[in-house]
């Protein structure tokens, strides 16, 4: 799609951290050599280490092919720690251990596209945005005019792929198999979309937005949008929904939608149109590419995993579910013998809501310890957290992180409410560490 939202073979289990994810964490290739490869994580509910869960093959059986390692991103200005999930369109996620900054650096920010990446604008300030449809006055404005005529604001807000956590579903769901890396929290500079909508004058019939962009469809058909999502007017008028031209104080990079894009915080990143050219106000729910059938939609009534889906039983994905990640230490970290204490850091967020608490477990969920949760810088910022763990001995430990949102919803042990496209997978994040 033309935006960061939400393809390897899925692992079908959000807790069975794959070799791809393990080796994709910064500095872990060397650790893997020391401890003999990726440490296994226990399976959901079974308590059996992944490495021992399958019976040994009979002597006559051929040895399985070695697991294919991660394909790391090679793109100008981006960290090589990012893991490529798809090449056409280009999609790359950020390992959790690279999300340890309060503000996600541009080079570490995930990439999500649906169409062909357009060439960078030669004159960014001449870029034109049109607002039309159910408005009293059609509005055409250049980026230069937007900067000069409206008051700019800067807010640090999470942008998250709608499919983040998709790899946790079993049976596998369609699409890029995101773990937790389809998210980042940058400082965005621009103007509230509401300012432009008020200038255009909304008609009483206005109900929904429809977003259009400059990226070309993968087929090369110029008349076919790669993706055209929209949001309810109430969300469009939220002062935090913005048209932005800067990211972390720098001109918005082309790969992230520059020179200008939408940011619709808390909702699926697919609504945050990159390379924005037009917003049409509609008198009904938008039905563009990515708005119908099962695209960015979740079941109203829970369906049988892997069963036949009925489009009438689906509604549009809006606010994203609560999620927490452990950003330090990285999965697979090895500590010296005699280490009695671990310092943990992480991040948590909850769509339109806030995070009420984060809890940590080192005994597979038998007991929990409350983490220290920081306040967000502004609405839609993620909430950083820290915790100090006391270790009873040397050995192998799994660390689980679980967030609870402001309405009391808690992260589950495994991705639930299966759907064909794998949205809403927010199982607890788990890492394995070895002491001694």
pLDDT at residue number 368? 98
Report which of 399, 393, 423 is spatially closest to residue 327, judged by C-alpha positions: 399
- Tell whether the model's pLDDT for residue 308 goes beyond 80: yes
CB 243 within 8 A of CB 277: no
In this predicted structure, what is the pLDDT of residue 250? Answer: 98
Residue 57 has pLDDT above 50, yes or no: no
- Report whether pLDDT(22) > 50: no
The pLDDT value given to residue 67: 54
163, 204 contact by CB (below 8 A): no
Spacing of C-alpha 385 from chain mean position:
19
Position 250 in a domain: yes
Quick check: 61 pLDDT over 90?
no
Task: Please state whether the peptide bond connecting residue 259 to the residue before it is cis, i.e. omega within 30 degrees of 0.
Answer: yes
Task: Give yes or no for residue 8 having a pLDDT over 70.
Answer: no
Confidence of residue 11 (pLDDT cuts 50, 70, 90): very low
The C-alpha atoms of residue 71 and residue 66 are separated, in whole angstroms, by 15
Tokens, residue 352? 């339109």
- Tell whether 85 is covered by a domain: no
Identify whether 289 is part of a domain: yes
Number of structural domains (the chain) is 1
pLDDT tier for residue 69 given thresholds of 50, 70 and 90: confident
Q: What mean pLDDT do residues 359-383 have? A: 97
Mean pLDDT of 19-27: 35
Segments forming the whole domain that contains residue 165: 106-316
List the beta bridge partners of residue 432. Answer: 398
pLDDT of 43: 61
Per the domain annotation, does 88 fall within a domain?
no
The separation between CA 193 and the C-alpha centre of its own chain, rounded to angstroms, equals 22
Work out the angle at residue 261's Cα, subtended by the Cα atoms of residues 116 and 288, and round it to the nearest 5 degrees.
65
Q: What is the pLDDT of residues 28-38, one digit of tens each?
A: 333 333 333 46
What pLDDT, on a 0 to 100 scale, did the predictor assign at position 292?
96
Cβ 230 vs Cβ 287: under 8 Å: no
Confidence band (pLDDT; 50, 70, 90) for 39?
confident
- For residue 44, the model assigns a pLDDT of 53
Q: How confident is the model at residue 143 (pLDDT cuts 50, 70, 90)?
A: very high
Mean pLDDT across 309-331: 98
% of residues, the chain, pLDDT over 70: 85
Residue 252 vs residues 119, 121, 190, 196, 242: alpha-carbon distances, Å? 14, 11, 10, 20, 13
pLDDT at 25: 36
| 267: in domain | yes
**419, part of any domain:** no
Distance of CA 144 to the CA centre of its chain: 30
- pTM for the predicted model, two decimal places: 0.88
Find the length of the chain: 436
The answer as to whether 184 is a domain residue is yes
| Mean predicted confidence (pLDDT) in 338-358 | 98
Q: What is the mean pLDDT of residues 363-381?
A: 97
- pLDDT above 60: residue 54: no
Helix (H, G, I), strand (E, B) or coil at 166: helix
Distance of alpha carbon 389 from alpha carbon 399, whole angstroms: 10
Per-residue model confidence as pLDDT tens digits over 238-278: 999 999 999 999 999 999 999 999 999 999 999 999 999 99
pLDDT value of position 212: 98
Which CATH number goes with the domain that contains 265? Answer: 3.90.420.10
157 falls within a domain: yes
């Amino acid at each position: 799609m033309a935006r960061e939202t939400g393809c390897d073979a899925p692992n079908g289990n959000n807790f069975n951290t794959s070799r791809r994810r393990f080796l994709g964490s910064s500095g872990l290739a060397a650790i893997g050599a020391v401890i003999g490869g990726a440490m296994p994580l226990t399976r959901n509910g079974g308590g059996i280490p992944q490495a021992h869960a399958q019976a040994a093959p009979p002597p006559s059986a051929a040895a399985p092919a070695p697991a294919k390692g991660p394909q790391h991103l090679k793109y100008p200005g981006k960290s090589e720690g990012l893991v490529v999930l798809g090449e056409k369109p280009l999609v790359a996620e950020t390992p959790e251990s690279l999300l340890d900054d309060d503000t996600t650096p541009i080079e570490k920010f995930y990439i999500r596209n649906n169409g062909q990446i357009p060439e960078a604008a030669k004159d960014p300030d001449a870029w034109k945005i049109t607002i039309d449809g159910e408005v009293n006055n059609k509005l055409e404005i250049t980026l230069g005019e937007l900067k000069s005529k409206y008051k700019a604001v800067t807010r640090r807000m999470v942008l998250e792929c709608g499919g983040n956590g998709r790899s946790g579903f079993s049976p596998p769901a369609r699409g890029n198999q995101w773990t937790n890396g389809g998210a980042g929290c940058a400082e965005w500079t621009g103007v509230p979309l509401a300012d432009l909508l008020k200038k255009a004058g909304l008609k009483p019939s206005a109900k929904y937005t429809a977003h259009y962009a400059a990226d070309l469809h993968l087929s090369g058909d110029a008349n076919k949008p790669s993706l055209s999502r929209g949001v309810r007017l109430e969300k469009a008028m939220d002062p935090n929904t913005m048209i932005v031209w800067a990211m972390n104080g720098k001109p918005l990079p082309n790969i992230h939608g520059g020179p200008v894009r939408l940011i619709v915080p808390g909702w699926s990143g697919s609504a945050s149109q990159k390379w924005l050219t037009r917003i049409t106000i509609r008198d009904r729910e938008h039905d563009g590419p990515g708005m119908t059938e099962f695209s960015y939609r979740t079941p109203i009534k829970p369906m049988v995993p892997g069963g036949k889906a009925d489009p009438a039983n689906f509604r549009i994905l809006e606010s994203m579910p609560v999620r927490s990640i452990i950003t330090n230490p990285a999965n697979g970290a090895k500590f010296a013998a005699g280490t009695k204490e671990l310092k943990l850091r992480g991040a948590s967020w909850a769509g339109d809501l806030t995070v009420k608490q984060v809890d940590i477990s080192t005994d597979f969920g038998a007991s929990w310890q409350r983490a220290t949760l920081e306040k967000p810088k502004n609405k839609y910022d993620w909430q950083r957290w820290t915790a100090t763990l006391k270790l009873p001995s040397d050995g192998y430990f799994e660390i689980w992180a679980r967030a609870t949102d402001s309405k009391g919803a808690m992260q589950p042990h495994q991705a639930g409410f299966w759907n064909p496209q794998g949205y809403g997978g927010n199982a607890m994040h788990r890492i394995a560490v070895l002491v001694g």
